[in-house]
Amino acid sequence: MLFNSYEFIFLFLPITFFIYFYLSSKRLIVGAKAFLVFASLFFYSWWNITYLPLILGSILFNFTIGVSLSKDDNLKYKLSKKTILTFGIICNLLLLGYFKYTDFFISNANLALDLNMDLLHITLPLGISFFTFTQIAYIVDAYRGEVKEMDYLNYSLFVTFFPHLLAGPILHHKEIMPQFNHSKSFVKNYKNIAVGIFLFSIGLFKKVVIADTFAVWATNGFDKAEVLNLIEAWATSLSYTFQLYFDFSGYTDMAIGIALLFNIKFPINFNSPYKATNIQDFWRRWHITLSRFLKDYIYIPLGGNKKGETRTYLNLFLTFLIGGLWHGAGWTFIFWGFLHGVALVVHRAWQKLNFKLNRILAYFITFNFINISWIFFRAKDWDSAIKVLSSMFSLDNVVISKKVFDFFNSLNLNYVFNYGVVFEHLGSDNKIILFFLLFIFVLFSNNSIYIANNFKANKRNLIFILLMLIYAIPMITNISEFLYFDF
């Protein structure tokens, strides 16, 4: 079930909300929690009920591992906590690896060893990367002695709670599980409801109005066009850069807003990432809960910055190489992680040398690096990536309008350009103004979380919410998945 669907907005969400708080009002707290688990599993199963046993088995397994790690009596089985933790992590990674990477390994083995093994074409269960990472963090925290309670119902609710189940944010048990036990969580909070609806409306607008609009150009440029002129290539890359941000931040806004309806506060996941002036700053703003996971459970266990400068560079690089592989089973994802790992190493070395760039130049370099690296993140294969990237920096095919061509012709510069339909392969040229407006928006506007933190329930905000919903809801007829469902 999608957040941007009529059945979710008009049936599932209101019904779940009212039943949950009805049970809570009758002081049936266990019943309210159990219902929310049931509703979340129903939400998950809506897409494909085949994988319901998978998530249920994963929850039971990881809870059992967590309990074992939190107790001191496992020595009677002659198993150390480290052994139990290692076993738990390996099992989680094997589960994720089977569904997400089997065909990738088979295809590469076929290529490297000249084999002819058939691909299995395994369907990736929705949300498996997110609920697997969430539970790996849980058992690691249990090993570290940071898990304070062991209640199976609470744990099941923590993992399955439908706002974050399919695409995050990646949650820590210690920031969410206590909220499910707080008495205030079971009483309707009208301020939270107002802010939640406000954030949901912003997220819906981001997704169906902005992201899905740019998706058309990105799809045409990456997947359909055989050739691109220079302007089309830049429009293609920028379209995906904006699509990805507004799609994923839109999902996150909706998830945070929905959770607030139930008095659960999720951590911030985006903080105006395209305002970043260096690559480290970008990763402190983009998909913040993933950055936190990579830092806490990969970078620091590798040694962090405690084993010398050379080892620090290696740890940074390996962390983002692994992060690239986590995003997808493909060499383009690995190369994307490689690029960001190298960029972070270069940035750290630059800082050590005490070099500083003009802020505007630093922003220009950072944004363009991010935009270019997204090409490999989006492209289905190397050929598609090279098609876009090479066209962005080639002067062999610069197409401009007749009016502009005549102007350059008067300056004797017509030998550089061709005139024709500038956006012939992308479908239209009506997004130029939208590009400009979004740059202004990204650079100078406050983000949705800042606005929500300063939200006031007044007529102006009510009108703003209504206008967004009135504009966005009719566009739900063109239903599209969120991009991060594929990761």
Q: What are the catalytic residues?
A: 327
AA letter at 255: A
The CA distance from 170 to 354, in Å, is 34
Paired with 418 in beta bridges are: 399
Nearest to 235 by CA among 41, 49, 90, 371: 371
The CA distance from 253 to 40, in Å, is 18
The CA distance from 280 to 320, in Å, is 12
Q: What's the token pair of residue 132?
A: 């697997």
How far is C-alpha 47 from the geometric centre of its chain's CA atoms? 19
The CA distance from 8 to 269, in Å, is 23
Nearest to 334 by CA among 383, 289, 382, 271: 382
Where do the DSSP E strands lie in 74-158?
Answer: none
> Tokens 């089977």 label which residue?
98
Nearest to 175 by CA among 162, 191, 158: 158
The CA distance from 103 to 117, in Å, is 10
* Whether 363 contacts 226, CB under 8 Å: no
On the question of a cis peptide bond just before residue 474, with omega within 30 degrees of 0, the verdict is no
> How much helix, strand and coil, in percent to the nearest 5, is found in the chain?
75, 0, 25
The CA distance from 286 to 291, in Å, is 8
How crowded is residue 49: how many other Cβ atoms within 10 Å of its Cβ? Answer: 11
Q: Please spell the DSSP secondary structure of 221-239, one letter per residue.
A: IIII-S---HHHHHHHHHH
